[in-house]
Amino acid sequence: MAESTAPPGPDARAPDTGAPTAFGGDRAAGARSRPGRSAPTVLEVLRKLDASPRGLTEAQAQERLARFGDNVLPALREATWPQLFVRSLRDPFTAVLLCLGLVSAAVLAWGTASVILLLVVVSCVLRATGEHRADRSTAALRDLVATTATVVRRAAEDAPPTSRELPPDELVPGDVVRLGPGDLVPADVRLLRAHGLTVHQSALTGESAPLAKSASDAPHRAGGVFEQRQCCFQGSSVVSGSATAVVTATGARTRFAAAQGRSAGRREASAFDRSVHGISWILIRFMLLTPPLVLMANAALRGRGLETLPFAVAVAVGLTPEMLPVLVTTCLARGASLLARTHGVIVRRLPALHDLGAVDVLCLDKTGTLTQDRPVAHRALGPDGRDDPEVLHWAAVNAWWTLHLADLPEPDALDEALLESADPDDLMAYDGVAAVGFDPARRLATAVVRTPGRLGRHTLVVKGDVRAVLERCALTDEERRSLTGRAAAQADDGLRVLAVATAERPARTRAYTPADERGLTFRGLVTLRDALAPTAADALKNLTDRGVTVKILTGDHPGTAARACRDLGIPVTGEAIADAGRVDTLTDAGLSALARRTTVFARCTPDHKARIIRALRAAGHTVGFLGDGVNDLPALRTADVGIAPRAAADVTREVADVVLAEKDLTALDQAVAAGRHAGGNIATYLRITLSSNLGNVIAMLSAGLLLPFLPMLPAQVLTQNLCFDAAQLAFAHDRPHPSVPRRPTELRPRDLLRFITGFGVLNAVADLVTFAVLALALHGPGTGDDEAVFHSGWFTENLLTQALVMVLLRAGRHTAGRRRPGPVTWAALALAAIGLALPPSPLGPVLGLTGLPVLYYVLLVAVLAVYAAGLLAAGSRAARRLQPDRGVPQL
């Protein structure tokens, strides 16, 4: 066991929550402690809890369990399937369709209303089923970790105390528990006794380094409540050592629960929510304008009255992408299902998959993501500052024999790193004599060994905190200052530093004590760094290639975070590193500017993380956040998409939109790719459908004013829409072009409106040219037969042009001839076949369609060739119009 010199952690970890303690009053979870303020003594705590070091009796425990309740966090109620179904109806896309179906029913267009309402139901069923399945998968994760707590209780007041294992939810304030390495702290506790105890509090504070704890009643140092040495908190875990403690708070009264409650509330709108809202309002405006325009134009120019209302509604239906809710839900559900099967990634909220694809900034903590929760040996420096392997050798000797002679259950993380770097045979060459174990007061540990070939002599090997070791070495003040400065420079560079010293003593049988740790010979320094996650470097490169900027929001010291980034090849020089303390002094605009040029924010509190993410979103970025602790809850709620690993705290998983099988950036990279596949298909569907529909509406309005009859019957409009919509379901099964996953895919209403306007006008021009072709082929309209032929010619041309749009706007100029036919190509061919075959078929007369003259088909080929050339030229121009700063395609 050894305490290292390391970069200091943040001063405060949690804001004021005001959660009540078990013995009355309020507690400020994040209030800064005044230096020198005395914590309640063990005796005072036991008196307030009416408890004893011998444990509660069973009767007392049962009475308190009834009074305080189970030791469980406030439950987050899971939505039922019917609730999810009703929630799906609030989706703006679905609401638009629902309103349109009701309007169709109001004008007695029962066929149109029935089809639209059926699509609404199918979309809501798919979405509710997918999200319900994800909720069940998340709930099943809770059953993967079954823990118990070692509790000391008595059968009766005069009975002896006995230890037994109990479920943590049966603990009550006043219970005495025992903690050992690997144990989860089951409640908030006050230490009664502790031996070499260190705990991980990263789930609460974000600090990666374990914190030493002791039962001392000495005044605690300045800092947040979580830095109190006498207390351990629910949500932390024991790294090394052992302890006996009394439970002070359980369930909703713990600081863990208080942090959860502080973060509760309605989450901000995500990128998908904003995009859907904008696109829905575009559709609503078009739909509200179209029927009145049709009615007024026909009344003014043709003297028609309300008999044109069904046609006006049919035109509005023709503008609306009826399959949009179904296709969006299908794309997202297929992507989420594939991620769950292949990578163990659970998408708890389907739109979050789109948000993953739109992410261009990913914020994460370095601990467990870029680095593992363990150190590794970095360098061994002699007294002159040069590399000296002997220093690492002596440090490993100390770690080996203190482990075996001081009755430690297992090595702590630093000792384990030293042992991994040493040859066990070299360590076994020594004979262990005695050990003086580590304790927080001395901040060092000593092993006494007998060196082979040196009879009658014992060697003391001392390792620990730099200042503590140097104080015991035979050095001048100048030498001590120089070595302290060298160690501080290493610590500022993000390394943990241990000092090593030895001393020769005559062999003896008398026990060794801390008083023997004097007059030592300084051997050197051992530096350790955080072990890098094995897949982090490759995953970061993949994310960068996909246009995702990674930013580190950590509670660690700036040097520690910068060291990990440099080791992974992330440039972090100059203003790329900032202390989160600056965040409190900046306005929102100033923080946005700082966040844009900063890669690492160190010493972050939960509120800092949330505010930084909010600033990035305000600057126009789509932000993802990966976190696993209760301290990450505000950031998870603020981000467009919150991500948590399976091993995260229960409450963190419940808040997250996406749950990873492991805290591994490789799985996250795959999730981003899946999100971009789904988002790319949705964006392509919207571009093609809305531009085609807009062109058809413009052409219909124009034809309605030029012709003495309706340009297309309502039944024909509905049939055409159904054929086109059914064909476009293929987009849900399409594999986008390889360039799509390489850049964020976000539905941007303004860009989409610009795109559909340009291509809609082009489509309308092709339709108007078709009118001229029909006039030429028929030598002028005027008879009833001419009306049926006009309807048939335009019906055929509409489906053929829409089939062309599906193929050409999807594939693009450079890939149209090289890609093998996929589902979209086959669907387009089927659509074209229907357009050619339906008018002369037996079903044609039922719809008011008829066969067409050969001259029409000849002229139509020429029109389609010119239209295809125009599509390719316009598509090439649109493809070049990419935003240079984010690489998001103009939709």
Question: Which helix (H) or strand (E) segment is 275 a member of?
Answer: helix 271-302
In DSSP notation, 309-371 reads HHHHHHHHHHHS-TTHHHHHHHHHHHHHHHHHHHH--EESSTHHHHHHHH--EEEE-SBTTTE
User: Could you tell me how far CA 452 lies from the centroid of its own chain?
Assistant: 56
Check residue 423 and give left, alpha or beta (phi > 0: left; psi -120 to 50: alpha): beta
User: Could you tell me how far CA 78 lies from the centroid of its own chain?
Assistant: 20
Pairing of β 496-506 and β 457-464: antiparallel
Residues contacting residue 558 through CB under 8 Å, at least 6 positions apart = 7, 577, 578, 579, 600, 602, 603
**Distances 854 to 260, 784, 841, 860 between C-alpha atoms, Å:** 73, 20, 16, 10
365 among known catalytic residues: yes
CA distance 102 to 86: 17
Residues contacting residue 489 through CB under 8 Å, at least 6 positions apart = none
Backbone angles phi, psi at 742, to 5 degrees: -85, 0
Q: How far apart are the first and last CA of the chain?
A: 59
Burial class from Cβ neighbours inside 10 Å (0-12, 13-18, 19+) for residue 43 reads exposed
Burial class from Cβ neighbours inside 10 Å (0-12, 13-18, 19+) for residue 234 reads buried
Q: Which position has the token pair 């079903």?
A: 843
Q: Which position has the token pair 């009643």?
A: 217
CA distance 80 to 113: 28
CA distance 167 to 183: 13
The answer to whether 645 and 628 have CB atoms below 8 angstroms apart is yes
Helix (H, G, I), strand (E, B) or coil at 538: helix
The sheet with strand 641-645 has its strands ordered as: 346-347, 658-660, 641-645, 623-626, 361-364, 549-553, 600-602, 577-579
The answer to whether 377 and 417 have CB atoms below 8 angstroms apart is yes
Pair of tokens at residue 659: 């749950």
User: Could you tell me how far CA 833 lies from the centroid of its own chain?
Assistant: 45
Pair of tokens at residue 526: 């051992």
Full 3-state SS string of 117-158: HHHHHHHHHHHHHHHHHHHHHHHHHHCCCCCCEEEEEECCCC
Q: Which residue among 135, 175, 183, 365 is the active-site one?
A: 365
Full 3-state SS string of 622-658: CEEEECCCHHHHHHHHHCCEEEEECCCCHHHHHHCCE
Best CA proximity match to 834, nearest among 761, 715, 726: 726
The answer to whether 734 and 688 have CB atoms below 8 angstroms apart is no
**Distances 64 to 56, 166, 250 between C-alpha atoms, Å:** 10, 15, 11
DSSP summary character for residue 511: P
Active site residues: 365
